[in-house]
Structure 1
């Protein structure tokens, strides 16, 4: 009834083109699409700027530990990052 021959599905049946390699290629493409969808959902579900603030706070802590900034500077900058 319906004759849909999509190019990425040709490796599944008899006479499907590349045989076993076609099946593995299709499996790879399908896995890649699932992975990309997962990463997109993960990125969209994370609040904006959360990761940037965490990174900035880690850098600030490192500078304070190395003695590059004073306690007052650390406290002031930390409050700015938390707000």
Structure 2
């Protein structure tokens, strides 16, 4: 192979393609990948989770639920 007159046997093009794909992947990948997307938690979902974990009592859950529903 003669590297001095521009004939690289196609390997040069392959490396450019690999670099372009890599850079494109870095800059154009969606910022929020669906399986990594952190879902914004609804206040009612947060309240249910706290109740399920035993952080609040049933009375606190019911009272907070009424407050949240009255705000909507």
Whichever of the two has the greater Rg, that structure is 2
Q: TM-score, normalised by structure 2?
A: 0.44
Q: Which has the higher helix share?
A: 1
> Which of 1 and 2 has higher RCO (CA within 8 Å, sep 6+)?
2
Q: TM-score, normalised by structure 1?
A: 0.41
